[in-house]
Amino acid sequence: MLVPRIGTMNIAIDESGTFVYTDTDNSWNCVVSYVYPEVHNPHIQEEVRKLVQRHAKGGQKEVKLRNLSESAYANFLRCLQKWDGVLYAVATNAAANTPQVLECHQEEQTQKILEHLDKMIYETGREGVRRLAKRVKALPHQLYVQMICQVQLVIQILHSALLFYVQRHPPTLNRFRWRIDQKNSSQTSYEDAYSQVLPAILQSASICKPIPMLKGEDYHWFDRFYFPKGEVPTYLRDVYGVEIVDDNERKINIGQVVHEDVRFVDSKSDSGVQIADLLASGLRRCLRGQFTDNNIIASLIGGLMVQREHNQIPIQLISLGKEEKKVEGQVLSALHAMAIQSRAMIVRQ
């Protein structure tokens, strides 16, 4: 069945930084998503077209942050605030992710993938899980950190964007169009591992912490993403080896949400991914305190974000180690500026 694009949530994902360990503190890397409703896609494409026309060098089809002055970047952020797009971000300080920390975390994650292997019914399924665990374990450390950040980003999107748009553009929940920046012309081992591990982690996470829904809002556009009653326990047992109690609650088919329309694309061909690239680069530079007026840029970036639950800062900061690192100085100031300007989640009547 063809679904009208007008009822589509566009989700563009990109990252900034190498995610390689360094002993230099405040070495921030981030993965971000620019999420926007299809109804505003023509306006967003026009904003990108004008930016490229004004600032691209030598006939290039996209603009990088290095091509923009600070004032031009600030003006672009102001333009984006007109179109109901939301910036979601996960950042990590590479100095906190030592090789020893990553080896431990990667081994733990590999074992979690294999955790329910003996409960799985089909040998083909068991073999697929073994291959996935082997692939995740073989990822270079920097790609493993990036994958963990990206998985956390998708969890954040599912828990926040549905709430945000059901109040503002309900038809947006009818389809999810994922576009992820592709670094090479062919799909990498990272992309392959990410595509396979994401649905399993998300489905498990949604059981432990269900995606929140707002009472009284119109979710009928989202109905096709629910499992038929009675199907989900069998599906999770057969595919993942996880037993689920049938508590009469409707359960979301997370795999359908994240896999139905997903592509790794060249950023030159997608306006949303170009925006995600500029936002990722700008956020990373801002966390490192590298803008002349860093708090002004932080405030403008924050204006594209939405408040998180329990008054948390709008960026999710993660470390793969057991010990928490304190955030202070310029980083704390930038995060505070972003939090002040972030938009309210709930529309007040």
119-147, pLDDT tens digit by residue? 666 777 778 778 888 888 888 999 899 99
Q: Over the stretch 68-109, which tens digit does the pLDDT of each residue have?
A: 999 999 999 999 999 999 999 999 999 999 999 999 999 998
Provide mean pLDDT across the span 179-183: 89
Q: What is the mean pLDDT of the chain?
A: 88
Task: Read off the pLDDT of each residue in 296-325 and give the average, rounded to a whole number.
Answer: 91
pLDDT interval class at 1 (50, 70, 90): very low
Give residue 296's pLDDT.
98
What element of type H or E holds 37? strand 28-37
Q: Which range, of 103-107, 134-138, 227-231, 297-301, averages the lowest pLDDT?
A: 227-231
**In the numeric block, which tokens belong to residue 339?**
């939090």
Q: Is residue 180 within 8 Å of residue 262, measured between CB atoms?
A: yes
Task: Identify whether the C-beta of residue 89 lies closer than 8 Å to the C-beta of residue 316.
Answer: yes
Overall average pLDDT of the 275-284 stretch: 98
Does this model's pTM top 0.85? My answer is yes
What's residue 65's pLDDT?
A: 96
- pLDDT digits over 22-46, tens only? 999 899 999 999 999 999 999 999 9
At residue 248, the pLDDT reads 58
Contacts for 79 with CB less than 8 Å, ≥ 6 apart:
47
- Residue count of the chain: 349
Instruction: Look at residue 61 in the predicted model and tell me its pLDDT.
Output: 87
pLDDT surpasses 50 at 348 = yes
Assess whether pLDDT exceeds 80 at residue 196. Answer: no
The angle, 0 to 180 degrees and rounded to 10, between the axes of the packed helices 70-80 and 271-287 is 120
pLDDT value at 342 more than 90: yes
Q: In angstroms, how far is CA 344 from the centroid of its own chain?
A: 19
Calculate what percentage of the chain has a pLDDT beyond 90.
Answer: 60
Task: Write down the pLDDT at residue 324.
Answer: 74
pLDDT (mean) for 188-193: 75
Mean pLDDT confidence for 205-221: 85
- Across the range 249-253, mean pLDDT stands at 79
Query: How many Cα atoms are found within 13 Å in the side-chain-facing hemisphere of 144?
Result: 25
pLDDT, position 240: 57
pLDDT digits (tens, 9 = 90+) for 77-87: 999 999 999 99
Classify strands 176-181 and 262-265 as parallel, antiparallel or unpaired: parallel
- What share of the chain in percent tops pLDDT 70? 89
Asked whether residue 235 carries a pLDDT value surpassing 60, the answer given is no
Name which of 135-149, 197-211, 264-278, 303-317 the model is least confident about.
197-211
Cα 161 from Cα 172, distance rounded (Å): 10
Q: Provide the pLDDT confidence category of residue 53 given band limits of 50, 70 and 90.
A: very high
pLDDT at 72: 97
- As a whole number of angstroms, the distance between CA 46 and CA 281 comes to 21
More confident residue, 201 or 302: 302
The whole-number pLDDT of residue 279 equals 98
Q: Which pLDDT does position 148 carry in this prediction? A: 92
Say whether pLDDT at 3 is over 60.
no
Q: Binning pLDDT at 50, 70 and 90, where does residue 245 land?
A: low
The pLDDT score that the predictor gives to residue 227 is 83
